[in-house]
Structure formats: C-alpha cells, structure tokens
Structure 1
C-alpha cells in the first residue's frame, strides 16, 4: 500500500508538470462521464428509484398495467378499482398487513384561507384512504398523518399539506397546523405536513399539494360523487405484504375475490357482461416504485438517450486512450532509463495503470460536477413549465455509477500504456525511438480517430433525423388553427357550482370575456385539442345491431362544447353545421361528429340526419347528427385519430341507470375555455383574470396559455430527446475533432526531422501543408466509410422514434458528412500550418 500511495503521488506530480495534457484529459473525460451520469441521474430517478418510503420492497401494487382516471365496466386485466372493491379486498385479504387506496388521477382544488382577502388559488389534491400514508411508512414532518378515523362518514374534514407547498406558499409557518382552509368552498383543517422529498405514490409532473381522505369525496364533489358507485373504477391499490405471506397465493385469492364480487348484486353488472367474468384477470406487481405511469411514458426515450450518451463516453474514452498512448510513447526514453537502472517490470506496469486510473477518477469528479448542471438542464428541457420531484443533486447510486465508470475507464485505457511500459527496450529507446517517418508509429491512435469519426457521424445523423421528425410532428395538420387562440382553464366545480348552475355561469363568463377589446369569439369545452384527455363510450346506432361485448370498434370519444366552438378553434365543418345558440336544453338533442366517426359507423353513407346514443341500445335515438367536422387530434400527436362526437353543453340526457346519471353530471363541467382574438391583444392574460374575478372572485384560474403553447407541450418528450441528441452530437463532434487534432499534432511533432529534410530537399510549404491535411483526411474518409452504413443502421434502430422521416435521409447524411469534414479540416489545418512553418535547419538539429 505505501508503494501504491507513492506511485499516486508521483502521478500527481507528473500531471502538475504537464498542465496542458492534464487539463485536456480531465476535460475530455469530464464531458463524457458528465453527459452519461446526467442521463443516468434521470434514468435512475424515473425508471429505477424506489418511492421515498419505508421498506419499499415490501409493497405490492394490485395490477400490472398503467391506467388513469376513471373506468366503467369490465377491464379484463384489472388495475383500477372502485371504492367498494377496495373495501372488499381490504377486509378479505389477510396476506396484506395494510391495503391502501389512492386516487388514480389528481384534482385541482380551489384553496384559500378564510378572511385572507386573497382570491382562491388552484392546488393539486388527491383523495387517499385513511391508512394510505401509514401503509407507505412515512412519518409526518409536522402534525400527524391522516388516519382511518378521518376516513369515515361524519368525521371532521381534514387534509395534509405537502412540505413543498408549505415551504413555498406559507413560509413554513407553524400556524398552518390546526388552521382552517376553504377547499372548494368547504372548511378543512390542516392536520399535518408530509416529510420533505415525499411526492405520493407515483412520480408525476404535478405532485399533490394536498391529500384528502376518501370519505370527504362526496363533500367536495357533491352530486358528481363516485365514492358510492361500485361500478366506477378510479382507485389505485397498494398494499404492504404480511411477513411470511406469498405473493402468488395472494394474487390467486384476490382474483377469486374479484370474480365473486363481480357476480354479486353489489357490482350492478349487466346480464350481457356476466359471461365475461371468468375472463377477468388480476395480477400483482412490485409496488416499491409506486404507480409508474411516467416511467412507461418516458422509458423508450430515456433508453435511447442512455445509448447516445454511452457513445459520447466511448469517444471521450478513445480520446483518453490516444492521450495516454501519446504520453507513453513520449516517455519511452524515461521508462527505458528506469528499466536500465533496475526498475522491475511489475512496478512500471503498476505505475502506468495508476496514472491512468488517477486521471480517470479526477475526470469522474469533474464529470459529477458537470452532471449536476446537466441534470438540471435535462429537467428544464423535459419539463419546461412544470415541477417534478427529481433532485438534480447526485445521489449515492449516481455517485457510484460515476465512480464505477471512471474506474473502468482508467483500467481499460491504462492497459495499453502499461503494456508499452513493460515492453520498452532500453537500447532502442536510448537510440532515439521517438523519431518516425510516414504513417508508422501511431497506427493505434489513427484507428481510435477513425472510430471517433464514425461514431460522431452516427450521432449527428441521429440528431438530424430526430430533429426532422420533431419538425414534421409540429407542422402536421392537427385539424385546428392555433394562431391567435388562447386557452383558459378554470374549474367551476372548484367554486362550488352545481351541475344545474352551469348554464348561467358559462353565459356570464362568455359575456365577460367577449367584452375584452380584441376578443372575437369565446367557447367552452370538456376537452380541448391536444390536451391529452378524452372520455370514451360505446356507441349504439339507431337501426343497427348493438356492438358485440368488449368490441373496441364501437368506442367513440366525447366532447361537450358550447356554441361557436369549432369557429373558435378553427376546425372546419365539412357537412351541415356546428353547435349553435339554438341548441338549448328544450330543443332536440343534436351532435356533430368527426369524419372518422362518420366513416366507421356509416361506411360510406351520409351521416347527416342519422341518430345514435351511448350507454345502452335503448338510447340509440338520443342524438341527431347535424354536422360533420374534419378530424382533430385531441389525445396526442402519436395517437391515431379516433371517432369523436360533440354534444351541446346545454343539453343533457335523462338516463335511468344511476351510473349513467353520474357520468352525465361529471361530464357537465367544461373546464377549458377557448378564446380567439383579432391579432395581438396587449395584457390579455391580466384582462382575462380580471374578467374571471368579476364573474366570481372565488373561481381560480388554473392556467392561461396560448393554444400554440398547448400544442408545443404535447411534444415535450420528443423535443427533449431531439435537443439532447443534438447536444450530444455536437459534443461528440467536438471530442472527435480534439482527437484528430491531437493525433495530427503528435504526428507532426514526431515527423519534424522528416519534414525538415523534405523542405531542405526542395519541398515548399504548400506541399507540406497538403501532406499533413491529406493524412488527417485519410482517417476521416475511412471513418465516413464505416460511419455512413452505421448511421443508416442506427436510423432503422430508432425508427420507432421517427415521424415522417426516413431512416436513411440522404440530405441529412450529406449535411452531417459535410459538417464532419469541415470540423476535420479545422482540426487538421492548425498542426499543418505549424508543420509548414518549420525551418529546415532547425528541424534537422532537433532530437
């Protein structure tokens, strides 16, 4: 050990004597390791990290597929459950020490302190069972947790607040505990603060600010409550397994319990669905990572970025190998003298390896610092306008990853210098082994440059393809016009409006917004284009046989809209008309359908005048189709266009079934308000907020943005991947250029005598310049010969990430090849000019 310590101290002294070499090597490694570590930080946080709870390995999730929000009917592979199903599982499954329920989506709540004089602000809230937070094994930072006693009818309304909300909005004021807040107009007592870093049972871009017991759901949702609706599934279930229990046995028991519950009268299952009960399945999955919906969404993109950053690290390592090989060659004479003086070969090998490892560890330390900033940059690119609970500070796992990469790099790329040290011939070295002519003596370095050039081309082409794909996505026809359109989101239910109070509210809000100078039209809708939301129902066509049970071909999306909706968002009416002011509660019920709806359900026949309904065949004559619109994208840019029908916001169906009545009330609230202007309107947002406050000061504005911003947000993930791939491509090009410069400069230095002799024999400076640049481009051309086929192969490998872009786009290949050649020219011209400026007599005197 003392000898190893002495060798490390010697290596540090040598690095201090060669600051240029040391700085270049550390910076090269820092860029490669920093880029890889930054991506690994995100991969670790989104895909690998467990929930910040006690003993996450003991948690099991009921379900193995990701789902959201609310379902009705059979699921086949169950992952969402009703409150009644949760209670049945909780009371009859002894394999769990605790089984908890969590709302599968989040609600926006209007929150304010009584008597504060400030308008209500919207905060994210989530309903949880009384044992939810104790099941996860967290302790309250202040106050106490929600308990089962809080989750029962008649209990005093309580809520827990997140540490982040308490810190940022209320300055960690301890007086918050025990105080009363109005949540959607109802008084709630804040009983506790969750611990720092806790974000709930799932990672999301908008974690809850408040947790509310499930028992208070009817208080906040009033007539739209679904707590006592056994056939509406809306809860995620996570349990803590009992000591000694077997997960497979629990799964089999719960599957049996599910089928028994479905066949019981409580489930209200229709006679048509009963034969399908035996096909219903339920699977348990690891719950330590919580509900991993974000992980599923970002998995493919993060894996791609991990591969790309690994290629950047490969180029950095090739540069490191080049630098170490050059250093070993330059020090041949020194090593030979030490060998001649009796230094054992093992000592020379160990010293060379320790130098490489020490340098790599220093590069890794610098890389962690770069990774910290890189992770913050990636988070900003991935979630530009939202907060997600991912810490950019390096965690223990990330630090271990960076250290492991650094150590592995040092060992792998220290082997060649160590081998050269152990095979140094003292006699040959002392004769002047540093001198060389032609292409001899640096073959390994040239091979590494060729590898760098080919990998750089692959990354640049991938960046070009992803950027072109993103441009194609953003420029496609979505079926609406985003120019001079704005989106206002506000929830009337947050201000306490009941479903029977909505019509006058929307009329008043419409008039207030229309009074703003420059506003030309205003509309309201349940869902808006590319907001990612859609409610789906099975459609029954009058005069046609009902669709078979479980058939997806009969499913259509619903949007409830006000008059002038299609004009406001710029969607064309292909046939008939849109929803108008004449479509009132007392007039015939009408619907407008999109082209895909008309083609699927009427197969070439005209949809105009046809009738259809939802929920059941007996409602097939509910709506009369009065218009057909062009197809509009609502769910997302990669989702296929689905059938959609649009109904008037003022018209409601009087269903007989309780579940149908619940859905009809829930879908009455149109939270999206579309505003169209005549060009730019100064201070529009402040004017809109004032108009909303005039309608109701307790009505919170959830968000206000342009429709173009809403469209752009649908491409956040693709934009992140394209941007980071471009950054990594530029970084790879820079590292490859540095490698080419280093090898060319080293070759010029070794051939100084040869160049002097050539010039003494009559060669002019232009010939020397041409000779050096030709040598540099020989490596680049070989790299291109390898890189072009590899780039085409990489294009096919990422074809699932491409939209409207060919994997072998010749224009992108040409541009990236030209870019690489230009970089190679500038990397080679500096040492070439230095070579051309050598004085013959001075060169011939050099050793």
Structure 2
C-alpha cells in the first residue's frame, strides 16, 4: 500500500508531466516567457553579484569583523584617514582594545624595478612591521616584516605580491633572500604574499616604513588599520581611544588638538563606501525591471487562465479541490520559472565578466562576479517568488467565476467578464516603466551638463602619463627641480611637441591638501591653519594646458631654488581668502603646522590663474596653490616625489602626431624612468564621467526594456478586450456607431489605463527622486522636464500599442460580429 509521501510524489510527477506537455503545446508563449524571465532574473543576478561581491561578501581574511580603520574626526567636518607615524606608534603601545595596529602609506607609489638594464614600473606600498599580522595573512613564502626593519637606517626588505613573483621572477621558489633594486635602492626579498591578500589597491610590492615617535612629527601620511581583541566592539575601541588621546596630550602636547577625536569604523565598510550608493541604485533599478517582467508574464498567464476556465471547472466538477488546482498551477509555473532562472544564470554567467570589465565604478580589488552558490540561491529565490505570484493571482481571479458559468462557456470564445487584475498589472507596468525612464532622463540630463561644462583648460591634442622618481632624483628640492626641468626640455625638443610640463596631479586626478598661513592674518578660531590644494608644477604647465593667467604672471625657468619663493593661486582661492583685496604681493607660508622639516619659506603671490575642475567635472573648482617644482622643500620632495611620482602633460602640434615611442626613449635615456599609463587629456576627462555614463546607459537600457514590456502588456490587454467585446462592438456599429467612434472608444480605455499608470509613476518618481541626488549634476531630482519627457514617451508608446487592437475593432463587420454566439 502506497504511503502518503509516495502518493504525494506521484502526484508531483504527474503534475510535472502535465505541465511539460502544457508548455510544449504553447511554444510561442513558453519561449517568450522564458526569454522575458531570463532578462529579468539575469539582470537582477548580475547586479546582485556586484552587490554581494563588493558589499555583502566578507573580506577574505580570518575574522574580518575584527578589522577596523581608525580615522581622525573634527566637529563639523568629515573624517580623515591620515595619521602621523608618532600617533600610530603611540596608539599601538597605549591602547587596550586592539590586538595589533598597523600603518601604511596613504597612497601607493610608483617604483622602478631594475632588472637586466630594464626599468619595470611597479606599485609599492610602505607598511609597518605588523601589517600582515593585522590581516592574519602571513606571506605564502618566507616571512613578513620584523620590528627592527622599521628602525631608521635599517636595511631595505620587501615582500612581493604573488602576481609579481610569478610575472617578474617566474615563480622562483628560491626568491627569498634574493637582492633586488628599486630605483637606486637595494632591497632583500623576505617573502611572497598570499595570493588571496587583496585590498582596495593593486599592490606589486610591500616595503617597510621607517617609523619613530617624534614630538615634532605633524605629517599625517598614513592609513591606520587595527584588529580588535576578541569581545571588543568598535564603540568600545572608540571610547578607549578617547583615553589614549588624553594621554597623548600629556606626552606630546604639540601634537594634540582639543577638537580632534578618533573614529573607529568597520574596515570593509571603509573600502566600499564610495561604491555602495551607485550599486544600491542599480539594484533598485533592476528590481523595478523584475516587477515589470513579472507583471508582463502575469498578464499573459491571466489570459491563459481565462481560456482554461472550462478545463478547471470540469476538474472541480470531478472532485478536484482548490488546493489541488493551485498545486497544479504552482508546478506549471515553477517549471516555467525554473527554465527562466537557468537561462538567467547562463545570461549572467556570460555578461557578468563583461560588466566587470566595462564598469567604470571603482571596485575594490577583492570584488568578484563569479556565479557561485549564493548567486544560484538568489536566482532560485527569485524563480520561486515569481512562481508563487504567477499561481496565486490567477487562482484568486478564477474564484470570481461561478462553476456553472464556466461549464456553459464555449471553448472557441474568450470568456466574458472583465479582468481587473490585468488592468492593475498594466497600470503597474506603466508606473514602473516611468520610474525607470525618468531616472534615465535625469542621468541623461546630468551627463549632458557634465560633458558641456567648461573644465578650465584645453584638453585637445594633449597627452598625459606618469613617472616614478628615484631616491637620488628626490633627495633635495634642487635635484627634483633639475630632473623635471631637464626632462621637460628634452621632451619639448621632440618633433611635433608644442610644450610639456610636469605636475603632481593633472586635472581630474587627486592632489594633496596642505596647511598654510596668510601673513598678517590671524589663524582660524580653532587654532588650526587654513588648508587647500598644493600643486608643484614646472614652468610651462599653464601654457601646456592653456589655463589663462588672470592677473600677474606665470612661472618661468628662473623660478628655482636660488630665486625668491613665489606662489600662484587660482580665482577661487582669491574669492575665498582675498575677496576685497588685491592678492598680488600678498604673502603665504605653507606647511608650518606640519613641523620645521616641512615649513616652507614665506611665498609671495605673483599671479592668479583661472579655475580648473581639478577634482572632477561634477565638483566645484577647489582653491589651488601652485608653486615651482624646483622650490619645494627637501622634506616635502622626499615625501611627495617618492610616494606619488609625477604626472606629465605634453601638448602636440597636431592630433596625428604619435609620440609614445619617442617619449619612452627620452625618459629612459635621460633619467632611466619608465613611463606608465599613457593616455590623452580627452580620455582622462571622459574617464572622469565614465561612472555617470555607465549608470545612464544601464538605466536607459532597463528603461527601454521596461517600455517595450509595458507596451506589449498593454497590447495584450487591449487585444483581449477587443476580442471579448466583439459582439458589443457589432451591436454599436449596427445601431449607427461610426468606425471613428469605435476607434476612440478603445483608445479611450487604453488612455485611461496609461493615464492612471503615469499618475502613479509620477508620484513614485517624485518620492524616489531624492535617492538619486548623489548621482546628479545640475539637474534637480524632481526635474519637470524629465517627468514630462518620460510621461510623453510612455503615453505615445501606450497609445501606439493600443492602436492596432483599436484599428482591428474599428474594422469589424457588424453582421459577422452579431452572428457570434
């Protein structure tokens, strides 16, 4: 005798066989539904993989929840991740909350690996001795750094990344103990890092920082990462650091600020903070797209359910319960949605690597778009959710029809009676489509304004690239300036070159902020210094980028280490600090607050130049301080030149001139410096708006798919309505109604559905517009033009979709319609 479980399984198998036959009998419906589901589930899966790979997946370290970043915080301003070596060492030895604390360079820097007369550019990161210990990621070969490696004057040691070890040293198993040359400095390889060790930057090699506690150490140049002790929360650690800062006041009073506090925050969150808003918006967009997909398929299923009412009524008459019918529909829809999910997974598997390659969103190095168990589970969850929805709504709708009515139904005709659920679905599709179209229109308007804003310089015919600098070339300000001037002169001597210059960071690239004081003016009320952008340049920088000189003069080759210290500021600097004064002749001292080693001589402002969009086209032009590269203080040269390298801008006489090989030869022959990242200023500007362009294109694509599906849904509903009202239309026409009257009747009904959907969509767009404010430039989140444009496109598309059923209704012959039983 069969058990209940066996009987239940037999029923499921029977339902599966019936569902498969039912889907195969309607190949057109099945294929279109599977493709539509694949689009919806696949798009959601790709964005989920981005979201999971970047935000939800734990960092690939032991107990990643214990990793935190320590930042400086001041009232009324944001956090700063930079700390000085003295504070890092002081925190490390006086805290009670951290198992270990490590510091590392605020920015990776370029170094040249000298191998067999070749200079190979690498990205290097200086770290404290317990850096790998904090992450619980000891090197795969060899060992990490020891405390004595951080002592000033200690021999240089290095840990290679797994990729560098394999690429540059052919995975030599005897690499530990080998001597290498970085620039002009000798290092000994002590280890090869674990291949899973990835942070927010691609690092080729790690070296030790030489750190010591110093009462005059004001240079905040290092990030701080720490591992919490077991049972300690970030809030507890933050309270502990309040005690540490008070202790710092007694030990190093000159390094203590009454306004300063410490902010302890999750390390993972600190790496993905800039990416999260864009990913959340994309997730919301594909979620809306899935709603439109589900509504479209549900509308088709409702029409099929209506045509199957007689079949279902016969089943009920033969004893089938409502639960049994629901099970049958659920199995059918699970099979359909499973096929859609499999196709969606295949689509995501193919498109995810392409999206990862194309996306300009700055993803952390640990980000991955691999469709693993979590991705399959997500797709399966969406499939089950859709299947339940696709089964419940038709089941509830079918309860409105009485059994006897269904049994009397002629199976050659569509059942009479209105189907309000279909109209609700059309309204929902129109509303969701409008939300996506308005979002795309907002991004399109924002992008248009971005690309047409004046950047403050002329990017045409200008190449740009980066170079690292050796220790010898950055040993003093004089050596630094001489190296750059020599390279600029040799570059300008090349055929096809109009002018060339070096800068610490070209427009659209980050540049450092440094504190300064204005002669004859009291410091800010909080006792700190002013703080603005610090940009060392060579003489022809303004000429090369065609930045206009508004007042005074530009720099010349005579502005060097032996000449009077000078400074050029931009118009925004003048507006902020000298709104009612002539800035020419004013005096500024940079770096005094950083200690005597960084104190710059007092500089005279000799010129004012136009504003440049240094931080990006969407940002206002910051206050800028330009100074001759040859006049940078020695300590600052060593800090900036060795850690960041320099960016070069070269204006060509013609766009057709190819300088790549000639420039590589000049820099290698003149200074043994390889060049990296060669591109054009036009491309640099284009890259600066790449995230906005990518989001705009993705949302526009979602909007167009939703628009097409919404139009298809409206077409299906109106076709069904016309077929259902054939006899009514015949009666109207027999009684004298003109074809135009019938056309207007059908279009009026479609217009009402679209109009209600637009009203709901406008309200939803207005309510959700503020969520996009962080991605917009020069466009209000509730921009009326975007709302009107999206509404107009949807209204025209909806009426066009309804036109064909309306035209068919108006072409109905009265006598043929009246003969329908």
Contact 2:434-2:761 at 8 Å conserved across structures:
yes
Q: CA deviation at 1:315?
A: 1.0
Do the aligned residues in 1 keep the contact of 2:306 with 2:414 (CA within 8 Å)?
no
Query: Any idea what the Cα deviations from partners look like across 1:182-225, whole Å, max 9, x if unmatched?
Result: 3223344445444444313xx3xx4212223335x9xxxxxxx9
Paired position in structure 2 for 1:688: 663
Question: What is the match of residue 297 of structure 1?
Answer: 274
Normalization by structure 2: what TM-score?
Answer: 0.88
Report the equivalent of 2:32: 24
Cα deviation 1:209-266 (Å, max 9, x = unaligned): 2223335x9xxxxxxx9999843233333333334556555443333223323431xx
* Superposition map of 1:766-845 within 5 A: 772-773=746-747, 775-831=749-805
1:532-681 correspondence runs (5 A): 532-541=510-519, 543-550=520-527, 554-616=530-592, 622-652=602-632, 662-663=635-636, 665-667=638-640, 671-681=646-656
Aligned residues of 2:513 and 2:534 also touching (Cα < 8 A): yes
User: Relative to 1, partners in 2 of residues 1:6 and 1:424: Cα closer, same or farther, differing over 3 Å?
Assistant: farther
**Rounded Cα–Cα distance in structure 1 between residues aligned with 2:704 and 2:694:** 15
Cα distance between partner residues in 1 of 2:490 and 2:800: 62
Which deviates more from structure 2 when the two are superposed, residues 346-355 or residues 88-97? 88-97
1:765-786: CA deviations, max 9, x gaps?
8876666555444422332343
Structure 1 residues 481-520: Cα deviation after superposition (integer angstroms, max 9, x where no partner): 1122221211223786533422332232112211222211
Q: 399, 423, 446: which one pairs with 2:423?
A: 446
TM alignment of 1:94-109, pairs within 5 A: 95-109=97-111
Partner of residue 419, structure 1? 396
CA distance in 2: counterparts of 1:360 and 1:437, whole angstroms: 26
Matched with 2:242 is 255
User: In structure 2, what is the Cα distance between the partners aligned to 1:91 and 1:545?
Assistant: 37
Alignment partner for residue 91 of structure 2, among 89, 100, 119? 89
- Cα 1:213–1:728 shift into 2, 3 Å: same
Give yes or no for contact 2:72–2:83 (8 Å, CA) kept in 1: no
Q: 1:808 to 1:600 in 2, by over 3 A?
A: closer
Q: 1:130 to 1:586 in 2, by over 3 A?
A: closer
Look up the match of 2:202. Answer: 207
Classify 1:358/1:280 alpha carbon distance in 2 versus 1 (closer, same or farther; 3 Å).
same
Q: How does 1:161-176 map to 2 (within 5 A)?
A: 161-166=160-165, 174=173
CA deviation digits over 1:701-731, x for unaligned, max 9?
1221111222222223222222222121112
SS in 2 for 1:492: coil
Q: Number of residues paired by the alignment?
A: 804
Question: Gapped runs of 5+ residues in structure 1?
Answer: 68-73, 218-224, 654-660
- The CA deviation at 1:839 is 7.9
Residue of structure 2 in register with 1:658 after alignment: none
Distance 1:616 1:90, change over 3 A: closer
Q: 1:335 touches 1:424 (CA, 8 Å); kept in 2?
A: no
Task: Assess, with a 3 A threshold, how the Cα gap between structure 1 residues 720 and 167 changes in structure 2: closer, same or farther.
Answer: farther
SS in 2 for 1:124: strand
How far does the alpha carbon of each residue in 1:160-195 deviate from its partner, in whole angstroms, 9 at most, with x for none?
A: 333344556666565666654432233444454444
Call closer, same or farther: CA 1:161–1:395 in 2, change over 3 Å: farther
Match of 2:493 among 503, 515, 529: 515
> 2:142 touches 2:176 (CA, 8 Å); kept in 1?
no
Quote the offset at 1:796 in angstroms: 4.9
Q: What is the correspondence of 1:383-402 to structure 2 with a 5 Å cutoff?
A: 383=360, 388-402=365-379
**Secondary structure, in 3 states, of the residue corresponding to 1:342?**
coil
Query: 1:451-470: per-residue Cα shift (whole Å, max 9, x none)?
Result: 21122122112211111112
- 1:202-601 correspondence to structure 2 within 5 Å: 203=200, 206-215=201-210, 230-245=217-232, 248-264=235-251, 267=252, 269-270=253-254, 276-277=257-258, 279-287=259-267, 289=268, 291-292=270-271, 295-383=272-360, 388-420=365-397, 425-432=402-409, 440-493=417-470, 497-499=474-476, 500-541=478-519, 543-550=520-527, 554-601=530-577
137, 143, 146: which one aligns with 2:144: 146
Paired with 2:720 and 2:166, the residues of 1 have a C-alpha distance of 57
Aligned to 1:186: 185
Alignment partner, residue 4 of structure 2: none
- Conservation of the 8 A alpha-carbon contact between 1:61 and 1:284: yes
Counterparts of 1:648 and 1:738 in 2: how far apart (Å)?
65
Q: 2-side partners of 1:247 and 1:626: how far apart?
A: 49
2:136 match = 137
Q: Which residue of 2 aligns with 1:220?
A: none
Name the CA distance, whole Å, in 1 between partners of 2:121 and 2:448.
Answer: 34
**Between 74-83 and 445-454, the greater mean CA deviation after superposition:** 74-83
CA distance in 2, matches of 1:584, 1:243: 55
Contact preservation (8 Å) 1:34, 1:370: yes
Work out whether residues 185 and 496 of structure 1, in 8 Å CA contact, stay in contact via their aligned partners in 2: no
**Pair 1:703-2:677 in alignment:** yes
Contact 2:124/2:207 (<8 A) preserved = yes
Deviation at 1:108, TM superposition (A): 1.7
Distance 1:254 1:326 in 2: 66
Deviation of the 1:334 alpha carbon: 0.9
Give the 3-state SS of the residue equivalent to 2:459 in structure 1: coil
Structure-2 separation of matches of 1:124 and 1:513: 25
Q: Encode CA deviations 1:616-651: one digit per residue, 9 max, x unaligned.
A: 499898212211112222123343433222111222
- Seen in structure 2, the aligned counterparts of structure 1 residues 150 and 705 have a Cα distance that, compared at 3 Å, is farther
CA distance 1:778–1:244, change in 2 (3 Å)? closer
Q: Deviations over 1:352-385 (max 9, x none)?
A: 2333333333323322333334433443443289
> In 2, Cα distance between the equivalents of 1:194 and 1:549?
44
- In the alignment, the residues of structure 2 paired with residue 766 and residue 754 of structure 1 have an alpha-carbon distance, to the nearest angstrom, of 16
Moved more, 333-342 or 471-480: 471-480
| Contact 1:592/1:647 (<8 A) preserved | yes
- Give me the CA root mean square deviation: 3.7
**1:720 maps to 2:697:** no
Q: Please say which of residues 30-39 and 425-434 is displaced more in the overlay.
A: 425-434
Which residue in the other structure is 2:61 paired with? 53
Asked if structure 1 preserves the Cα contact closer than 8 Å seen for 2:568 and 2:625, the reply is yes
**Per-residue deviation at 1:324?**
2.1
Comparing 385-394 and 306-315, the one that deviates more: 385-394
- For residues 761 and 112 of structure 2, what CA distance do their matches in structure 1 show? 57
2-structure distance, mates of 1:478, 1:58: 43
Q: Quick check: 1:125–1:212 contact (8 Å CA) kept in 2?
A: yes
Q: Determine if contact 2:149/2:157 at 8 Å carries over to the other structure.
A: no
Name the counterpart of 1:222.
Answer: none
SS in 2 for 1:361: helix
**Alpha carbons 1:97, 1:241 under 8 Å: kept:** yes
SS across alignment from 1:233: coil
Query: Is the counterpart of residue 735 in structure 1 residue 709 in structure 2?
Result: yes
